[in-house]
Amino acid sequence: MNLFLFLVQVVTISLSGVMAPGPVTATAIAMGARNRFAGTIIAVGHSIVEFPLMILIVVGADKLLKWEPFQIVIGLAGGAFLWFMAVGMLKSLSISEVQQLTNTKSGPLVAGIVLSGGNPYFLLWWATIGLALATTAASLGIWAFALFAIVHWLCDLVWLQALSWASFKGSVLLGPRSQRIVLFICSCALFAFGVFFVYNACRTLIKLR
C-alpha cells in the first residue's frame, strides 16, 4: 500500500475513534474548564499507555487484550476510577478557585494514563482495528510504523486540546457558574461511563461462570 494513502486512512480511522464520546472526551472538557492546556497533558498521559501498546500488539499482545478475564478486570478497575473522578469533580464544585487550579495541575496526566489503560473499549479497539493498522504499518517498514504512531497520536492531541481550549474559553466568557455546570455535566457523564464499564464487566463475568 502507498504510504501516503495509508496515512490518510490512519487519520480518518483515528479521528472517527477519538471524536466518539467517551470518558477521555468528558475529562478533557471538564479539566479544560480550568486549564486551557489540559487536553495536551491528557494526550501525553494517553501516549504513555498507547505507544508501548502499539508495539506490544504487533508482537502478539492482542490475544491478552481479547482475553475475557483480562477485560473483566480492566472494566471493573476502569469503572471504579471513573466513579472516583466523578465524585472528585462534584466535590470540587464547592472548593475555592485557587484550590481547584492547584489540584488540577497534575490531574490531566494521571487521567490520561488511567483512563487509557483502564478503558476496556480502548484496549479492544487496539486489539482489532488498531492491530490491523499497526500490522500494515509494520509491513511498510520501521519508519512507516513510527509515522503511523505519531500521526495517530497527533489526532488525539489536536482533538483533546481543541476540546479543552473551547471549554476554557467558554468558562472565561460565561463565568464561574457556567464552569460549574460543565463540571457537573461531565461528572455525571463519567459516572454513567463507569456504570457502563462495570455493567459489561459483570455481564461478561456471569457468562464465564
pLDDT digits (tens, 9 = 90+) for 120-130: 888 888 888 88
Spell out the domain ranges in the chain.
Answer: 37-96+121-208
Residue 66 is predicted with a pLDDT of 79
Residue 96 is predicted with a pLDDT of 47
Q: How many residues does the chain have?
A: 209
Find all residues with CB under 8 Å of 82, minimum gap 6, and list them: 23, 115, 118, 190, 191, 193, 194, 197
Rounded (10°) CA dihedral 21, 23, 27, 29 = 10
Integer Cα distance of 8 and 44 in angstroms = 23
For 133-186, what is each residue's pLDDT tens digit? 998 998 888 999 999 999 999 999 999 999 999 988 887 666 667 777 777 888
Residue 1 is predicted with a pLDDT of 62
Integer Cα distance of 39 and 31 in angstroms = 8
Rounded (10°) CA dihedral 6, 15, 105, 184 = -170
Sign of CA dihedral 65, 161, 47, 102: negative
Integer Cα distance of 189 and 181 in angstroms = 12
Q: Which contacts qualify for 67-74: CB closer than 8 Å, 24 or more apart?
A: 68/204, 68/207, 68/208, 69/208, 71/120, 71/123, 71/124, 71/201, 71/204, 72/201, 72/204, 72/205, 72/208, 73/201, 74/117, 74/118, 74/119, 74/120, 74/123, 74/201
Residue 10 is predicted with a pLDDT of 93
Averaged pLDDT, 31-41: 90
Pick 79 or 45 by higher pLDDT: 45
pTM of the model: 0.83
Averaged pLDDT, 23-29: 90
Average model confidence (pLDDT) for the chain? 84
Pick 1 or 59 by higher pLDDT: 59
Integer Cα distance of 73 and 81 in angstroms = 12
Rounded to 5°, angle at Cα 77 from 72 and 78: 95
pLDDT at position 103 over 50: no
Give the lowest-confidence range in 12-16, 90-94, 164-168: 90-94
